[in-house]
Structures are given as C-alpha cells and as structure tokens.
Structure 1
Amino acid sequence: MEFLPAIEYQAGNITVPENQPRQPQSLQDLLRFTVEASSMGQESATSHLVGPMDEDRRQFLEQTLRSMTVDIVEVLSKAIEVLKRASSLSTEDDPTECEEAFQEIMDHVDNIDNANDFHKIGGFCIFQPCLNSVHSGLRWRAADLLAELTQNNPYCQQKVLEAKLMPVLISLLNSDLNEQVRIKSLYALSTLIRECKEALEEFRQNDGFSALLKALQSGVDKLKIKASFLISSLNQAWVKNELHRLGFVQEFVNLISEEVNPCTEHLLSALLNLVTSHEASQVECRGTKLELRETLSRLIERLGPKEEYKEVCEYARQLSLILFEGDEVDK
C-alpha cells in the first residue's frame, strides 16, 4: 500500500509539514511524546531495530512522567497546614517537622508566581505564630522566608505591610537573643523596604533606623555588613538626614578606624553613599576630632599595593576626593 506524501507549505526557506507535532521542549514533553508516539502504532524507518513499546515500558514511562509533575500549590498547602501548628509547640517539643515544612516552601517560592500563590492560598497566616515561636529555628526561618517572598516582589511587599509584620521584624532585630534571628530579620527588612516607598516610610515610623544603628554597634560582622549594604542602597535625601541625625556618621568613622576586617569595605561603601550630595554629613566627616583624613590616608598607604583590598582603597579614595579634595590620593 502506498501513502501520499504529507502536504507541505513554504515559509521563507523553511518547509513546514502539515500536522507537524509540537516538538518536545522539556524532559516531560519528551516522555509524553514517546508515550503518545508509541500508542499510535506507527512504524518508522527504524522499526526493524526498535520494536513497538511493550505495556510494561509504557506504564514505566507514564509513572515517571507523573512523578516529575509537581502540584506546587498542593505542596505549599500541605506545608502551610504543618506550620499552622507551630504556635502550639512548647520548648520541649521537637520543631523538626515545621523546619522541614519551611524548607519545602523555600524550594518553590524563588519563583515569583509561586511566591504570590503562597499568599493567595493563605500562607501568610503562619508568620505571626512562627516569628513569635519559642523555637529560634522557626523564628529565623520565618524571617528568611519573608526575605525570599519580598525580594523584588511588589505584590508580596504590599501584603507583608498589610499583615503588620514590619514591627515584628524590627522588634526581633532589636532584641532577639539569637544571632541568626537578628541577621535574618534584617535581611527580611532590607528586601521589604528596598524599592518600596511605603515600606521605607513605615520603617521610619517604627524607629527602624535606630534598630539599624544598633545592628552596626552589635559587634556581629554579618549584621554590620547587612546594615551597611542596606544603607548603601538608600539615596533619598530625607533618609540621609535621618541617618545623620541619629549619629551614623560617627559610628561609621569609628568602625572604619578599627583594624581592617571583612566589614571594612561595606562600611566605607555605606559612608560614601551617606556623604554623597549631603552637606551636613560631609561637614561632620571633616571634623578634626574624627580623624577621618588620617584614617583614609592610612588605608590607602597600607593597603594600596594589595590586590585583595582593591575595593577598600577605591572607596577610601572616593571619600578623600569628596571630603578632602583628594589630599590622601596624592600622598
């Protein structure tokens, strides 16, 4: 029996057969394509090498395909149900199941659509009890999840504000006894207020900048780095006025004058951002009591030849140019 050739259409220089099946775009597509092609019972030019798919192999491929298809909403919903029980945990109870539920959620909400779905299916109900849990592992994981949800996500930023979670995070940053909880709370606050004017204003109203200053004074490197990184991203004039009023300039200068450490680069970057286009901060930096001129000169002289301190020296030079018209650069 002979078959007529498939009808073909010309599209530029490409010949496109009619009824051409959609080409597989993923492994799941490939498996589905294989199963469907087998069920059609069509013979190919290689039929003498590869016979029709037997029923066992067909079932195996279908099971594999199903196992690779994850219902993310169902996964998130199950994790939420587990975390709803967090408020009932006492200090003697094992929080492992809840900690694993947090990890299950974190595995999916890096996708912004999944993050938004997490809120829409009621996921935000877990935050108040988990942020106030007696278990520090649940407190920091809740803050970490908030940071992931609000990272470059205006929808979730707004929903966090509506849920009144900002004051809770500031309180944790200020006074929680667990270092990891304070670090993750600052991380969540940073992602929440960045590029969100409403969140930044609420941060001010809840005395968030004082909490930020306390983080700089904590002696914890990760807190100092995260606080400096956040300040480096805030360019609003009113924010700089607030930072100057609270004494951030002197705190930065004091920390920079210490022995060079992993925080130095970030502290210099934050101070550079603060003094840029802010006269009051510049005037304070030029005060002889702070000895910033000498500190910058020492950094440039001692660290200049060392490649690993390239960024430190560059920030020091830029500060010298703004504050002292480049005196230290020429020495």
Structure 2
Amino acid sequence: MARDGPNWEGLLKWSLAHSDGTRPTNTLSEDDKRWLKEALQAQSFDVIKRMKEITLVMKIPEKDLESQGITPDNIEDLLDELQEHVESIDNANDLNTIGGLAPLIEYLKNPHANIRAKAADVLTTIVQNNPVSQKLVMEARGLEHLIANFTNDDDINVRIKALGAISSLIRHNKLGTHAFRLANGYGALREALGSENVRFQR
C-alpha cells in the first residue's frame, strides 16, 4: 500500500545509488542537511503512528469491526501494509513496544483462513534474522500458536505459512529449536513432507 506524502526514504536511497564517486557531487549546506534529517525523522514518525493505528484496529473485536463495515479483506490489506512497515528491523522490534505483537499473534486464531495465513506471513518478516523479535514472539507464545496451525489447520495455505514463520523463528535460535523439538515439531514436519500434498513436498 502506498504511503501518503513524499517518499523521503526512497529519495535518499536513489541519491546514494547514483553517487558512484566518479564525479563530484554538490555538498549539502547545513540547512539542507537539517531539512533532510527532519524529513527522514518525520517519515519514521509517520510509520510508527500508522503502525499504532493498525494495532488499534487489530485489537477491536470482529463483530465491532463488522458493524463499522470493516471486512476480512480490509484486515488483510492492513496486514499487508503492516508487513511492509516491519521490513525495517527497528519497526519490527517497535511493534511489541506499541502493543501490536500480541494482537497480531491472536490473528493466528482468527476464524478466517486468509487472515490466519497473512498473520503468519507478517510474523515471518518480523522474526527473520532478528533475535530481538524472535525472543519477543517466543515469550508471547507465538511458536505455540504457529505449531498448532501447522499441525492442525484445515487450510493448506495456513499450514504452509505457519511453517514458513516457524522456520524463520527458530533459525539461529537455540531456545526456539528446543521448543520446536519438544512439541514434536520435527515429527509433524516429517509427516507433512511425506503427505500427498505437493505444496509441502516443494
């Protein structure tokens, strides 16, 4: 989902990509440096503000959302947007600070399969190569819910997305690997790989 306003982060990346050192570049004045710093800080602030708004929506009971005309498709769109924001490791870690991690994990138990799958997808992004968020998700019993979805969910896509999140959560994570083993996760994985479903065999 596109963000409102100028894409300051994209502008900075473009500028760095086109500064190859083979030709002189204009030196930024102190005013320009201050303006760019403030613009980037404002961009970061807006992202956190938006993540807080998404968190508030995730905390609202489904029946109340429905009464306001909010559909499961709308929630999926919000989760898509949240996933984009938490690609930044700082934002991923901040999600717990602003209270968004717990309701996201609760979405793993949502009655709508697409939302369960998307929640696992977002968690994959949050914990990937991120020891801080791996620990936070473990403490919030995220692994327990992911294993339940992987082993028991009726929807194959939910199971596959849960497995992807588990893989990212326990990678380079001794506590996570140990917990996965204790929950007979490897047995469930062998069973899935031995199933007739070709999507698990890929």
Normalised by the length of structure 2, the TM-score is 0.74
Higher normalized helix content (fraction of residues): 2
2:199 to 205, 222, 225: 222
Q: Residues 79-117 of structure 1: CA distance to partner in whole angstroms, max 9, x if unpaired?
A: 111111255478xx8312211211121111111011001
Q: 2: CA distance between counterparts of 1:222 and 1:191?
A: 18
Compared CA separation, residues 177 and 83, structure 1 to 2 (3 A) = same
Asked whether 1:213 is paired with 2:190, we answer yes
Matched, 1:69 2:43: yes
Task: Verify the 8 A CA contact 1:87 1:130 in the aligned structure 2.
Answer: no
Q: Structure 1: which 5+ residue stretches go unaligned?
A: 1-19, 33-64, 226-331
Uncovered stretches (5+) of structure 2, i.e. residues with no partner: 1-27
Higher relative contact order (CA 8 A, sep 6+): 2
Q: Is contact 1:76–1:118 with CA below 8 Å preserved after alignment?
A: yes
One-letter amino acid of the structure 1 residue matched with residue 36 of structure 2: D
Is the contact between residue 132 and residue 139 of structure 1 (CA under 8 Å) also seen in structure 2?
A: yes
Find the counterpart in structure 1 of residue 30 from structure 2. Answer: 22
Residue 180 (structure 2) pairs with residue 203 (structure 1): yes
Aligned identity (percent) is 33
Distance in 2 between residues matched to 1:85 and 1:130, nearest whole Å: 11
| SS of alignment partner, residue 167 of structure 2 | helix
> Number of aligned pairs?
169
| Kept after mapping to 2: 8 A contact 1:87/1:133 | no
1:164 and 2:172 correspond: no
> How many Å separate the matches in 2 of 1:173 and 1:129?
15
CA contact (8 A) 1:83 1:126 kept: yes
SS in 2 for 1:29: helix
Work out the CA distance in 2 between the residues paired with 1:134 and 1:22: 54
Give the TM-score taking structure 1 as reference length.
0.47
**Residue 134 of structure 1, aligned match among 107, 111, 127:** 111
Distance 1:127 1:210 in 2: 27
Task: Work out which of the two has the higher radius of gyration on C-alpha atoms and give 1 or 2.
Answer: 1
**Counterpart in the other structure of 2:54:** 79
Deviations, residues 197-222 of structure 1 (Å, cap 9, x unaligned): 00000001111111111220233333
Provide the C-alpha distance between the structure 2 equivalents of 1:127 and 1:69, rounded to a whole number of angstroms.
23
1:1-331 superposed matches below 5 A: 21-22=29-30, 29=36, 69=43, 71-85=46-60, 87-88=62-63, 94-225=71-202
Tell me how large the CA RMSD over aligned residues is: 2.7
SS in 2 for 1:69: helix
The one-letter code sitting in structure 2 at the alignment partner of 1:79 is I
Question: What is the CA–CA distance in structure 2 between the aligned matches of 1:156 and 1:103, rounded to whole Å?
Answer: 19
Rounded to whole Å, the distance in 2 between the matches of 1:208 and 1:190 is 11
Following superposition, the deviation at residue 149 of structure 1 comes to: 0.5
